[in-house]
Chain A
Amino acid sequence: MSMSGIEEKARLAREKKALYGTDVDMQSYESEAKPQSVVENAEDLPSVVKKAALDVGVKLDGESSGEYVQMDQTPVVAKSLYEGVEIMDIASALKKYDGLADYWWKLVAPDADKYTADVAAAPPAGYFIRAKKGMKTVFPVKSCLYLGSTNLNQRVHNIIIAEEGSELHVITGCTTPAHVQRGLHVGVSEFFIQKDAKVSFTMVHSWSKEVEVRPRTGITIAEGGSLSNNYILLRPVKTIQTFPTATLAGRGAVASFNTVIYSTMGNIDVGSNVNLNAPETSAESISRVVSVGGEVIARGRMTGRVPGARAHLECVGLLLSDKGRIYSIPELDGQSRDLDMSHEAAVGRISEEELEYLMSRGLNSEEATSVIVRGFLDVEIKGLPEDLKQEIKNITQREDLKGS
């Protein structure tokens, strides 16, 4: 698609409502952002930004394969710290690689809805991460998307390419500082996992009570490639809607989605959509939702199109308040013989028996509840480096995640 073709499609889809989620009034947000100052190293960033990044699991201490930080619309740091990984801001990558013709808007359509259309119409900002052929990163690439101005519509377009045989770990924290009253974040992400490449992508969101979020993600995984995608949302948000779609395009490709939600308010509509299009592919989606308020819609869709594909969905919710709602929608779509697809969904309360058991050991009812809630949110994620695992554990085991 030519650049003008993209723009034309985007123009026509400007008013196109999304299939899921509440409709956002785009006009009520500012689309022009004040430029921020670029720094040499992430360590030189304002301490408020570093602190916010740390809160979403992104420790900007140079112990990484590379760093990308975007404040509002400005990429303030984009650098590689390891020769196996190329990191740039997306505008520079478009220049260097002649418009990224094989990648730009190939997995997400510019006219998918008004949010993608809005990103397509805006000047490109976002990260470009490329793991070079056969290169394996030990430290994760760390990125932080920081929405620091009230009323801003922050637009991001990211591309990740894991070339043949590479291994890449990325952690992205998206966050707003406490002083930002209101905002919109729209992020388009396109991930290309090539033959035998192995990628883990961990995203931690921490917004505030009047922020609306619309990520749009498309992923393709080639023969023998694998993805472990982890999404964590534990802080209040006004509305969020995302339904990343992964296509297992080559033989033996594997995708695993882990979602951890702790909801106190707002409208959260999240999930994953996997197309199993090649033989011997397998996919797993596990979501754990705790609601003490707010509405959570947990979606999971798996479509099996070839014999031998295997898929499993697991949506488990703990509903701890009358003010909350958990709506679990697991969908399995089998379109071939010899498929193995299953799902398991449950929404309920904390088991009395578990509570009593812990109370018999001297924990009061509140302490016992929060131990059970934290245990419930502690999803075991395979394929992550040890320090990332620890980072996720630290985030999901915070003391303030309680039963009420």
Chain B
Amino acid sequence: MNFGATEKDIIFRKLKDRLIELEVMHLLEIVDLSVGIGNKQVLKNFNLKIGQGETHALFGPNGTGKTTLLNVIAGIPRYTVESGQIVFKGEDITHMSMDERARLGIGMAFQRPPAIRGLRLKDLIKIINPKADAQEILKRMDFTAFAERDVNRGFSGGEVKRSEMVQLLAQQPDFVMLDEPDSGVDLENIKLIGEAINTLTQKDLRPSARTKSGIIITHFGHILEYMKADRAHVMLNGSIVCSGNPAEILGQIKKSGYEGCAACLCPA
């Protein structure tokens, strides 16, 4: 009998959780990551640490590599990792497949997800998590009317974002990545989405009790009025150039632009 391996696994996992708790280890750690797509380098010696229970916001102009970063963490195969490492829960996931990463606890709300013909949203919820209360989740996102619809098919921009949140609420990842969850969303629904992000990142718990983390890409930061972000970063040309308090950084970007913000708050 070989129950020893399982037991060892459990002890190992507990140890890792403890290390994360003690902040000796971060939930997600990206070390000197360089990534290319085709001949173009899109991330250069990129470094980022996200602790357990933390939610980070990511700002930066179009084409600076924000979506690429999220896609690479998710494991979308069309990117080439040239060097560096992605460590999640103490495990090197740099070359792990997408579904393994998802099962390890990484979830993503896509900016422009595809439509899937013939797959009803309520069926996808059950596939993602057979134990999820589909009705409750759909109701919460005011999305019950879309339960029988094909996933994302003929959805408006804002509806797509709610569809993504519905799926993530079913998936309950430990680390949630949100790629512009507020673009194209009307005011009422921005609030719904912000609240759902708070749930996914356990903002209802006291900070020390939170175990789930997240990262959000947003252009206008409007959604930050409805959700809590602990830290923010400015990305330029494939690297983080400035980090700090989300409100402060957003204020500075609005005042002096991305480069101006970096120059002012984080002079080299």
Contact = CB atoms under 8 A, between A and B. Distances in A.
B76 A361 contact: no
A356 B116 CA distance: 12
B113 interface: yes
Specify which of A354, A359, A361, A374 lies most central, judged by the most chain B CB atoms within 10 Å of its CB: A361
Q: Taking chain B's interface residues, is the majority helix, strand, or loop, or is none over half, making it mixed?
A: mixed
Contacts of A364: 97, 99
Contacts of A353: 114
Interface string A372-385: 10111110000000
Contacts of B128: 361-362
B124 A361 contact: yes
B118 interface: yes
A357 B102 CA distance: 11
Interface residues of A, number: 23
A362 B119 contact: no
B117 interface: yes
Contacts of A377: 118
A30 B118 CA distance: 43
B150 interface: yes
B76 A356 contact: yes
B171 interface: yes
B99 A375 contact: no
Contact of B118 (A356, A359, A361, A378): A378
Nearest to B104: A362
Interface residues of B, number: 25
A362 B99 contact: yes
A135 interface: no
A352 B78 CA distance: 10
A365 interface: yes
B143 interface: no
Interface in B88-143: 97-99, 102-103, 107-108, 110, 113-114, 116-119, 124, 127-128
A372 B167 contact: no
A355 B171 CA distance: 17
B74 interface: yes
Nearest to A378: B118
B164 to A, nearest CB: 10
A36 interface: no
Per CB-CB distance, the 8 closest pairs between chain A and chain B, nearest first, are: A375-B118, A378-B118, A362-B102, A359-B98, A375-B119, A359-B99, A353-B114, A364-B99
Interface of B: 74-78, 97-99, 102-103, 107-108, 110, 113-114, 116-119, 124, 127-128, 150, 167, 171
23 contacts: A354-B114, A354-B116, A356-B77, A357-B110, A359-B98, A359-B99, A359-B102, A360-B75, A360-B98, A360-B108, A360-B110, A361-B102, A361-B127, A362-B103, A363-B99, A363-B127, A365-B99, A371-B116, A371-B119, A372-B116, A375-B116, A375-B117, A376-B118
